[in-house]
Amino acid sequence: MRRVAALVAVVLLVTGCGSLPETHHRPGTGHEVATGAPAAGAPHAEITISGGKVTPPSGWLEVKRGQTVTLTVTSDVADELHVHGFDIARELEPGKAAGISFEADMTGVFQVETHESKLVLIQLAVT
């Protein structure tokens, strides 16, 4: 009987210390992703950098392997945009929207970053 009570106590403690969150796995329940004018369901994000702040806040963009990702980035200062893993770089001119588009042909999580200000703009989760 004492052992049973102990086991129950352990289970309670365990469930208490490890609840598994549901975000990231169900599109729409996770972090906000800017969706401007996506071309028929293609992953797309529009990001603005102003005064060292990223809008919308750095989140995840869910991408299926093989899809074409389109990113539109506007920065208030000159900088360089870099998509890790795919090794795509693009100059950012102050106040001018820069668009990049590429096929996501690798799986994993990849950061999209600015080189000078070292801001993570968004992370691409390619499944």
Partner 1 sequence: MTGVLAHGVGSRSDLPIPLFYAYAGAFAALVVSFLALGLLWADSRFSGDRAGRALPWRPPARAARVITALLALYTLGWLLLAPAEDNAAPYLIYVVFWVGLVPASLLFGPVWRLANPFRLLPDRPRRALPERLGYWPAAAGLTAFTWMELVSPEPAATATLLIFLLLYGTATAAGTLTYGHAWLDKGDPFEVYSTLVGHLSPLGRRADGTLVVRSPFNGLDAIAPAPGLVATVCVLLGSTGYDGFSGAPFWVDALQTGPLGRAGLGTVGLLTAIGGVALLYTACLWAAGLIGGTRGLTPRFAHSLVPIAIGYLVAHYFSLFVIEGQRAAILALGLASEVNADVVGAGTIAAVQVLAIVTGHVLGVVAAHDRSVRLLEPARAVAGQIPLFVLMVCYTIGGLTLLFAA
* d(C-alpha 93, C-alpha 97), whole Å: 8
Nearest residue (CB) to partner 1, 39 versus 109: 109
Nearest residue (CB) to partner 1, 7 versus 78: 7
* d(C-alpha 71, C-alpha 50), whole Å: 17
Residue 110 CB, nearest distance to partner 1 (Å)?
Answer: 6
Nearest residue (CB) to partner 1, 67 versus 85: 85
Q: Report the interface residues with partner 1, using CB under 8 A.
A: 2-3, 6-7, 9-11, 13-14, 17-21, 23-25, 30-31, 52-54, 57-60, 82, 84-85, 87, 89, 106-111, 113, 118-120, 123, 125-127
Query: Contact 23/42 with Cβ under 8 angstroms?
Result: no
Residue 67 CB, nearest distance to partner 1 (Å)?
Answer: 15
At residue 108, the 3 state secondary structure works out as: strand
C-alpha torsion 13→18→21→22, nearest 10: -80
